[in-house]
Amino acid sequence: MRVLVTGGVRSGKSRHAAELLEGRDHVTVVAPGPVADGGDPDWDHRVARHRAHRPTGWETVETVDLASAIGAAAGPVLVDCLGTWVTAILDRAELWDAPMDAADGVVDQHVAAIRESVRDHDDEVVLVTNEVGYGVVPSHRSGGVFRDLLGAVNQGVAEACDEVHLVVCGRVLRL
């Protein structure tokens, strides 16, 4: 089963995604966001909370190369989350101020590889992402770039999934 779990910030997405793999002895958790390094206490606390709720047999891999991490994993994979991945890609390639065509091209190449890895993986894959575009139109270009790119990423990754689960207020709607 390949599932994309989406919803707003703090909606219960990560908890639901982990519950989908509950009972599995070994899960590879791919964390493509910033590393907890003491630079941002709030982020560090969030990362620590996620780690504390994972079973002890689950292995965490911190990387932006999602396609390779999914392809190399033996057993089920949990990717948490595509929103932090988009931020990391934009940061590393210095694309925040680039023309949208340039950013789209870079992100599209990665998404194609991720889709292929998800489809080719021999076990369950659960990916977590943020749902974007329900709220206020961002007043800064960077917010619009993030919203547009993550929306496209979500659609592209959903193509490789069997199901999409929308989490709202801790409740799950299977699409």
Residues labelled catalytic: 50
Sign of CA dihedral 82, 117, 149, 90: positive
Query: Residue 5, SS3?
Result: strand
Q: How far apart are CA 132 and CA 154, in angstroms?
A: 9
Q: Residue 73 belongs to what H/E stretch?
A: none
Report the half-sphere exposure of 152 (CA within 13 A, side-chain side): 18
Q: How far apart are CA 117 and CA 34, in angstroms?
A: 22
Decide: 71 and 62 in contact? Cβ < 8 Å.
no
Q: How far apart are CA 23 and CA 11, in angstroms?
A: 23
